[in-house]
Amino acid sequence: MKGVAFVIALLGLTLVASADSLKAEIKASDKQICGAILTKNFPLLKKSVLSGVTPDFVYIENRPGKPLTATQMVSEMQMGLSAMQKITIATTQLLSYTVSGGTVVTKTNRTVGGLVVGKDKKPHTMLSSGMSTETYVKQGGRWKMSKMVWTDGPMTMDGKPMAMPK
């Protein structure tokens, strides 16, 4: 009986150690994605995102609309980022990390900002942030994101609050 308990404990430690290695993977991936956003390197952005998600990945926003696939999500990101004249900030901050069996759930604060040309044809500083809740599962021996739920945070234009687009 002690042998079975030891094997179960060892398996649990292996899962936790494996899940803990995911933290380093997330930070490295976020660094690469933020770099791609800052330089508007959309091929690298797409490659970085798609290599880290499951085939059945789903992206959900806290606004009306259908969930998106990873490819659709990246296309929407590219469209929004293309509207910016220059991107000056792209950051992430891992807020929480919860391991439950073979699943890891994280909460991450994400911020992007830069210069946009307004209707007045003048440059304006826009800053947008929000929080994402990501679910990771082990697939093919690797941790991959299977779901991302986005919650809008504050958005400002020249430091003044701005309504999120519908």
Domain containing 45 — which CATH number? 3.10.450.50
List, for residues 52-71, the tens digit of each pLDDT value.
999 999 999 977 779 999 99
Please give the mean pLDDT across all residues of the chain: 87
Residue 166 lies in a domain: no
List, for residues 4-31, the tens digit of each pLDDT value.
333 333 333 334 446 678 999 999 999 9
State mean pLDDT over 140-153: 93
* Residue range of the domain that includes 60: 2-161
Long-range residue pairs from 117-123, CB within 8 A, at least 24 positions apart, any chain? 117/85, 118/157, 123/85
Residue 7 lies in a domain: yes
Report the number of distinct structural domains present in the chain. 1
DSSP structure class, residue 134: E
Helices then strands (H, E): number in the chain? 3, 6
Query: How far is 31 from 52, CA to CA, in rounded Å?
Result: 13
Residue 63 lies in a domain: yes
The band of 124, judged by pLDDT with boundaries at 50, 70 and 90, is very high
